[in-house]
Amino acid sequence: QVQLVESGGGLVQAGGSLRLSCAASGRTFSSYAMGWFRQSPGKEREFVAAISWSGGNTYYADSVKGRFTISSDNAKNTVYLQMNSLKPEDTAVYYCAAGSRITIATMTWDYWGQGTQVTVSS
């Protein structure tokens, strides 16, 4: 079992920045790929970014490429999502996920955090 706890969400103006953190505990953190997803009211949960267990490979949704950066610190069992140049359309609940492989499909990820709200005002 892996437990994931997100933090760092909040209210920010358009153009601002936030850094989300996801602290993992339980089974060996470095054995899993880690991902960030988000969900807005009335919409399905969507892929945002992911990082391989080694940290050597990163993947991004087109909508956040160039603005968001995913990184991990295996010593701290923590994955981060640095979000810059935020837009109102980035407003959502952001979820951290862990899984054995990286896909954009939510059903393939094994563990999920409880989510953290990000609100971007215009």
Work out the percent of the chain whose per-residue pLDDT is above 90.
85
Average pLDDT over all residues of the chain: 94
Work out the percent of the chain whose per-residue pLDDT is above 70.
97
Q: Tell me: pLDDT of 7 over 80.
A: yes
Q: Tell me: pLDDT of 29 over 90.
A: no
Q: Convert 50-76 into a string of H (helix), E (strand) and C (coil).
A: EECCCCCCEEECCCCCCCEEEEEECCC
Q: Tell me: pLDDT of 3 over 90.
A: yes
**pLDDT confidence bin for 26, thresholds 50/70/90:** confident
Q: What is the pLDDT of residues 42-97, one digit of tens each?
A: 999 999 999 998 888 999 999 999 999 999 998 899 999 999 999 999 999 999 99
Judged by DSSP in three states, 17 sits in coil
C-alpha distances (whole Å) from 98 to each of 9, 37, 66, 83, 87 are: 19, 11, 23, 20, 26
Non-local CB neighbours of 35 within 8 Å, separated by 6+ positions: 47, 48, 49, 50, 51, 96, 97, 98, 99, 102, 109
